[in-house]
Chains A and B, each alone.
Chain A
Amino acid sequence: DIQMTQSPSSLSASVGDRVTITCRASQNIASFLNWYQQHPGKAPRLLIYTTSNLEPGVPSRFSGSGSGTDFTLTISSLQPEDFSTYYCQQSYNNPPTFGQGTKLEIK
């Protein structure tokens, strides 16, 4: 199985900050990388698929980039509702696997 490793595991930031979360795959996954947001007690929500495609309804302050083994999720200007946990997930092959999550907290 492909291992997905996110960094950092947790992050403190302020409203208005620009933040970047990194995801690394244990092997080349081309552009088959997706990002999800999960608030406590809620189901995950797809933010970005195939590295950089924004899911409809997701604010444009979210963006994704990368290829091969290294990927990033960037939030250009943090809003209060963005404080949450973020997961990357590879869809290159079966089984699809997730990173361990990055918890974004208010500083």
Chain B
Amino acid sequence: QVQLVESGGGLVKPGGSLRLSCAGSGFTFSDSYMTWIRQAPGKGLEWISYISSHATTTYYADSVKGRFTISRDNAKNSLYLQMNDLRVEDAAVYYCAREGGAAADFYFDLWGQGALVTVSS
């Protein structure tokens, strides 16, 4: 079954850290370009980070640059998002997603179920 499954969400205090994981299965994860996208409660979608298939290229949204780090382990078919210095405005459902098409086509054809991150004191 082709799927992405996120884990690692939870409640964290402002200034704290959290690491999200995303496990891929049913497709060749090591050939896939991957992305994190978030959605604040009741709001729209915000792209936040991208990583190429062999981690040679990463991109970040300005809103998370310097605080979040995307990484992957192709041997484990896994994608990660290390989130540091979390702010109240980072509270959202975080989705991992696979890039469709060729490299850096920036559209997303497979999504995980989402991981809820709550930032509150």
Contact = CB atoms under 8 A, between A and B. Distances in A.
Say whether A and B bind each other: yes
Interface of A: 32, 34, 36, 42-46, 49-50, 55, 87, 89, 91, 94-101
A49 B102 CA distance: 13
Interface string B31-56: 00000000000001111001000000
Given A43-B114, A46-B100, A49-B100, A98 B109 contact: no
B47 A98 contact: yes
Interface of B: 44-47, 50, 59, 61, 95, 100-101, 104-109, 111-114
Contacts of A44: 45, 95, 108, 111
B107 A46 contact: yes
A97 B47 contact: yes
The prevalent SS among residues of A at the interface is loop
B109 A46 contact: yes
B45 A87 contact: yes
B64 to A, nearest CB: 11
A44 B96 CA distance: 11
Contacts of B101: 49-50
A50 B30 CA distance: 24
B36 to A, nearest CB: 12
Q: Which of A55, A87, A96 has the most CB of B within 10 A?
A: A96
B45 A91 contact: no
Contacts of B59: 94-95
Contacts of B113: 42-43
Given A43-B95, A49-B100, A49-B101, A55 B109 contact: yes
A87 B107 contact: no
Nearest to B111: A43
B112 A98 contact: no
A70 B64 CA distance: 30
B46 A91 contact: no
Nearest to B46: A98
Contacts of B107: 34, 46, 49-50, 89, 91, 96
